[in-house]
Amino acid sequence: MTQGPRYPELIQSLPSSVPFVGPEVQERELGRPFRARLGANESVFGPSPWAVAAMQDEAAEIWKYADATNHDLKAELALRMGVTPQNVVLGEGIDGILGYTVRLLVAPGDAVVTSDGAYPTFNYHVHGYGGVLHKVPFRDDHEDIDALLDKAREVEAKLVYLSNPDNPMGSWHSGEVIEKALDRIPDGTLLVLDEAYIEFAPDGTAPRIDPEDPRVVRMRTFSKGYGLAGARVGYAVGAQPLIRAYDKVRNHFGMNRAAQIGALAALQDDTWIEEVVGLVGAAKERIGTIAKASGVTALPSAANFVAVDLGRDGDYARAVLKALIAEGVFVRMPFVAPQDRCIRISAGTPADLDVLAEVLPVALETAQR
């Protein structure tokens, strides 16, 4: 009998799973499209028209490989972040850069710390490279910075993951709180600061960190505020020795040419991002109004989504989620108690939120039966 591929023991031990089940999969199972797509924290308001035009113009040049150094986009990002291009690395969204970070620093058996219920794609990468995850609970629906760093010291962690603003709750810490915590990072531990939602956060949320500080790498994306989730463009800013080390493991041609061009155009359209932030703010306010009218509570959010506290337990929230999906509204929810008492609703267009206003009371009633 012909033998197939020989998987390493680590790979054989992993579950056959992915971090998220996409809305397209659910639509195929339902046999119809969703009426409102409010679950993936995409920007339904789309990218800058400049970005769309730039990508369309570049389509005829797609036969060329992209610039493997991402020179032009790195230069513009560096200018806006107040760093040098040597402090910036590009990747296939934050998801891709998280994978490179884990590959770069985590060997089988190495300790890694995160919050229980935080972004699962990070955990997915850690498991895939054989790292050992240590989780600490949220505190008052916030990621607990002190507990994360205490655990990192206890287990001699290679990495500590912190998202600010947080997904899935939308909570946030001030930049000052994070700055004060920097000196508590243990020697040899890297703080992975995920700032995917920073464009929507209040002033003062982004900490002031020396780009050459070797204790921190901060990650941002074009998937949220800039409306380019499908283009897969993310970037990290850190000390030059760390950023150079990414060249040892990253996919140098992972960034496609049209994505590079579109991201650069999007970055230069300040008017559009300001408009999107305003539209998201209005959408979050309306989600709060819809929630209140249905007898549930929208939590404060510094992201482009709102966690809605249903006031009961995870089983009830899962029933509400199931009912919403059956009614054609795609939303998601936190995975871990007590945060799983909530559902998470992305900012939508007025038409999307009209559907939510119609369907949410029905879903709440269905879940109580």
Question: How does DSSP assign 261-274, residue by residue?
Answer: HHHHHHHT-HHHHH
Amino acid at 77: L
Which segments of the chain does DSSP mark as H helices, in order?
Answer: 9-13, 23-30, 49-58, 71-81, 93-105, 120-128, 145-155, 175-181, 240-246, 257-267, 270-293, 314-326, 350-367
The C-alpha atoms of residue 251 and residue 246 are separated, in whole angstroms, by: 9
> What string of H, E and C letters represents the secondary structure of 47-87?
CCHHHHHHHHHHHHHCCCCCCCCCHHHHHHHHHHHCCCHHH
The conformational region for residue 140 under phi > 0 = left, psi -120 to 50 = alpha, else beta, is left
**Chosen CATH of 50-269 out of 3.90.1150.170, 3.40.80.10, 3.40.50.1100, 3.40.640.10:** 3.40.640.10
| pLDDT at residue 46, rounded to an integer | 96
Residue 20 reports pLDDT greater than 90? no
How would residue 175 be classed by pLDDT, with cut points 50, 70 and 90? very high
The C-alpha atoms of residue 103 and residue 250 are separated, in whole angstroms, by: 9
How would residue 369 be classed by pLDDT, with cut points 50, 70 and 90? confident
| Long-range contacts from 85-88, C-beta under 8 angstroms, 24+ separation | 86/240, 86/243, 86/244, 87/211, 87/212, 87/237, 87/238, 87/239, 87/240, 87/243, 88/235, 88/236, 88/237, 88/243
Dihedral sign from CA coordinates of 98, 226, 359, 301: positive
Q: Which fold has domain 9-46+271-367?
A: Aspartate Aminotransferase, domain 1 (3.90.1150)
Residue 130 reports pLDDT greater than 90? yes
| pLDDT at residue 184, rounded to an integer | 96
Determine contact, residues 238/249, Cβ cutoff 8 Å: no
The C-alpha atoms of residue 47 and residue 247 are separated, in whole angstroms, by: 29
**3-class SS at 140?**
coil
pLDDT in tens, 183-225: 999 999 999 999 999 999 999 999 999 999 999 999 999 999 9
* Average pLDDT of the segment spanning 215-236: 98
Residue 2 reports pLDDT greater than 80? no
Residue 250 reports pLDDT greater than 90? yes
Q: Which residues of 90-124 are buried (b: 16+ CB within 10 A; e: fewer)?
A: bbbbbbbbbbbbbbbbbeeebbbbbbbbbbbbbbb
| pLDDT at residue 363, rounded to an integer | 97
| pLDDT at residue 261, rounded to an integer | 97
| pLDDT at residue 114, rounded to an integer | 98
Mean pLDDT for the chain overall: 96
How would residue 127 be classed by pLDDT, with cut points 50, 70 and 90? very high
Residue 290 reports pLDDT greater than 80? yes
Determine contact, residues 148/113, Cβ cutoff 8 Å: yes
pLDDT in tens, 340-353: 999 999 999 999 99
> Domain map of the chain by residue range?
9-46+271-367, 50-269
Q: Which of the two residues, 131 and 22, has the higher pLDDT score?
A: 131
* Average pLDDT of the segment spanning 64-76: 96
Contacts (Cβ under 8 Å, ≥6 apart) of 285: none
Residue 329 reports pLDDT greater than 90? yes
The C-alpha atoms of residue 322 and residue 314 are separated, in whole angstroms, by: 12
**Cα 210 from chain centre:** 23
| pLDDT at residue 1, rounded to an integer | 65
* Average pLDDT of the segment spanning 88-93: 97
| pLDDT at residue 22, rounded to an integer | 87
* Average pLDDT of the segment spanning 160-188: 97
Window from 9-23, 71-85, 297-311, 323-337 with minimum mean pLDDT = 9-23
**3-class SS at 105?**
helix
* Average pLDDT of the segment spanning 327-331: 96
Q: Which residues of 164-181 are buried (b: 16+ CB within 10 A; e: fewer)?
A: bbbbbbbbbbbbeebeeb
